[in-house]
Structure 1
């Protein structure tokens, strides 16, 4: 009986160990995939990481969009009306990307102070803005419209 009890205890301990290992791997994967959001004001205050990916949200400053000759490379400025972050992006833009409209860009900050975007997310209707961008504009006291809607969090 002692061997039966010992095998059962060993089996339970092994199962708990495997479960703990699986939980640790899942948590590590989730942590490495987190991308934090910052407003342009927070980026200028050095609250954003100097290395690694993060998101910046706000409005595309009117008159700031410049397209390169290749048609895929784009430079523009994201602002929360207090501070601005220059952005460089190579790729296809969402159809709703416009100057003066809400945008969230994901990527990392270059050594030259230009945010290198790997993804551009644009708002999807005239009264919508990504929640993070709307919060950043509210904090800056520059929310463009009283009728602005955000998704429920």
Structure 2
């Protein structure tokens, strides 16, 4: 093989190896930042990993919101029409958060079977429901008064 060709081949192989390593490192770094969405039915079936950051969504069950008198702690339940999921949140809830409305929470499933949420997202108007929630609840739960999702 001609020395110039050999040098080009080594350069190409080195570039491919370095770019593959860079893609691998980026994919590895992003792996810990992914939040997987689960419906309350998946929690009831035991398909959700403990202590891993997840997203869950559904309708806030009417009558399930319980506020602690001494702190900001709030407990409420989300449903997809088939199962309910208890959520504990210790910050200020969004203004549009209400019973019978769609919500998405981000947090970790605890050993007691509830989600310790660090973020709660409430729908922003009467015509919007987060896509993940709408897909998991299609035709099941009455989430907007008398209109089904």
After TM superposition, is the score higher than 0.5?
yes
- Matches of 1:114 and 1:120, distance apart in 2: 14
Deviation at 1:2, TM superposition (A): 4.3
Moved over 6 A (4+): none
How many residues align? The count is 146
1:87 aligned residue: 87
Deviation at 1:21, TM superposition (A): 0.8
- Matches of 1:142 and 1:72, distance apart in 2: 28
CA deviation vs aligned residue, 1:23-58 (integer Å, no higher than 9, x gap): 112222333322211111121011222341211110
- Matches of 1:71 and 1:102, distance apart in 2: 24
Mapped pair 1:115 → 2:110? no
Aligned 1:10-25 pairs, distance under 5 A? 10-25=10-25
- Secondary structure at the aligned position of 1:112 is classed as coil
- Matches of 2:142 and 2:137, distance apart in 1: 5
1:54 aligned residue: 54
Deviation at 1:87, TM superposition (A): 0.5
CA deviation vs aligned residue, 1:102-151 (integer Å, no higher than 9, x gap): 00111111111121112111101012111111122226x224425x5xxx
Contact 2:79–2:141 (Cα < 8 Å) also in 1:
no
- Secondary structure at the aligned position of 1:62 is classed as coil
Mapped pair 1:76 → 2:80? no
- Matches of 2:33 and 2:14, distance apart in 1: 29
Mapped pair 1:142 → 2:138? no
2:34 aligned residue: 34
TM-score by length of 1: 0.83
Deviation at 1:70, TM superposition (A): 4.8
Give the RMSD, CA atoms, in angstroms. Answer: 2.1
